[in-house]
């Protein structure tokens, strides 16, 4: 958290800074997950925002100087756009000021996100990007490709969905929802998934993530969109955090897999 839908919602919310020129940058906390590069202020100052996009769970802000600002929201990070009356609050670590008077603030209580500045042409060379698998919403995510990767895997499908080196963008919350939608048990090993089930899984991946984006993501703890709006997809959760809820003659169970909570209905998610 934030996962792909929250990051996509954030990128859409950042459209207000597109084509705006940066006047100043202030770093209030230099060490997040990694140290913020020393040259970032000089590179950002007086540059213009030329493009906004997402790579997996990364926010990419392209500049007209052939550099790109890379932001990862970590566990609790968010970006917020505010006006001239902005007053810094606790956990506001990085602030970009625009000539228009608009201000972009990186806020992160746990400081597990990171901020980087990279030559745009070198983005794909960065370890945190080149090691990523296929984006969860990419048309390149096919049943044949997934089947080839997991046909001999002894790892449960829930953990496979969280493997960013295979499928990029899915986190713990949406993994439970995706598996419920596709009626696949989270305990099923990769090698036991027939290609017909993988096709159902991919359909559910796209369905759940697109619906979550439509609802502005999920606000469980810290997440808000850039203008402070809460996401609303949590009101559409079927199983996540619904332990004990009755669904179609079954009951939502909570188990722990690889240290992460999994919610599912054993009878309904029987791979049929």
pLDDT tens column, 186-226: 999 999 999 999 999 999 999 999 999 988 876 555 566 67
Q: Which of 2, 5, 156, 186 is catalytic?
A: 2
pLDDT number for residue 137:
97
Lowest mean pLDDT among 122-136, 161-175, 207-221: 207-221
Domain 4-130 listed as CATH 3.30.365.10: no
User: What is the percent of the chain with per-residue pLDDT over 90, rounded to a whole number?
Assistant: 85
**Is residue 61 classed exposed, middle or buried when 0-12, 13-18 and 19+ CB atoms within 10 A define those classes?**
buried
Q: Is 3 a catalytic residue?
A: yes
Spatial CB neighbours of 250, under 8 Å, sequence gap ≥ 6: 265, 266, 267, 268
What lies within 8 Å, CB to CB, of 223 at 6+ separation is: 1, 2, 6, 78, 217, 230, 231
What does the H/E/C string look like for 28-60? Answer: CCCECCCECCCCHHHHHCCCEEEEEEEECCEEE
The string of DSSP letters for 255-266 reads EEETTEEEEE-T
| Residue 235 binned pLDDT confidence (cut-offs 50, 70, 90) | confident
Catalytic status, residue 21: no
Query: Looking at the whole model, is its pTM more than 0.95?
Result: no
- Whether 221 is catalytic is no
Lowest mean pLDDT among 22-26, 73-77, 139-143, 207-211: 73-77
Mean pLDDT of the chain: 93
Domains of the chain, by residue range, sit at 4-130, 134-264
Tell me, what's the pLDDT at 75? Answer: 86
Which listed residue (5, 8, 54, 57) is catalytic? 57
Query: Matching CATH topology for 4-130 and 134-264?
Result: no
Q: How confident is the model at residue 81 (pLDDT cuts 50, 70, 90)?
A: very high
pLDDT at 76: 87
State the burial class of residue 209 (Cβ atoms within 10 Å of its Cβ: 0-12, 13-18, 19+): buried
pLDDT of residue 2: 80
Topology at the third CATH level for domain 134-264? Helicase, Ruva Protein; domain 3 (1.10.8)
Catalytic residue, candidates 206, 207, 260, 266: 260
């Amino acid at each position: 958290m934030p996962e792909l839908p929250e990051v996509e919602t954030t990128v859409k919310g950042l459209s207000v800074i597109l084509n705006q020129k940066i006047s100043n940058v202030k770093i209030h906390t230099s060490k997040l997950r990694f140290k913020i590069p020393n040259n970032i202020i000089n590179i950002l100052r007086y540059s213009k925002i030329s493009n906004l996009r997402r790579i997996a769970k990364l926010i990419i802000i392209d500049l007209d100087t052939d550099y790109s600002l890379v932001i990862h929201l970590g566990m609790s990070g968010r970006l917020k756009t505010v006006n001239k009356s902005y007053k810094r609050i606790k956990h506001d670590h990085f602030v970009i000021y625009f000539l228009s008077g608009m201000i972009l603030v990186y806020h992160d209580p746990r400081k597990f996100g990171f901020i980087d500045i990279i030559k745009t042409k070198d983005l794909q060379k960065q370890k945190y990007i080149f090691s990523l698998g296929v984006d969860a919403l990419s048309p390149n995510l096919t049943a044949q490709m997934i089947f080839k990767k997991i046909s001999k895997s002894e790892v449960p499908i829930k953990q496979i969905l969280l493997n960013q080196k295979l499928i990029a963008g899915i986190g713990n919350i949406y993994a439970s929802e995706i598996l419920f939608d596709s009626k696949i048990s989270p305990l099923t090993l990769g090698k036991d998934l027939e290609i017909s089930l993988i096709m159902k899984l991919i359909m559910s991946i796209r369905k759940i993530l697109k619906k979550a984006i439509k609802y502005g993501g999920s606000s469980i703890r810290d997440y808000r969109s850039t203008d402070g709006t809460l996401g609303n997809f949590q009101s559409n959760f079927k199983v996540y955090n619904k332990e004990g809820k009755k669904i179609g003659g079954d009951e939502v169970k909570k188990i722990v897999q690889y240290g992460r909570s999994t919610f599912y209905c054993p009878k309904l998610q029987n791979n049929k």
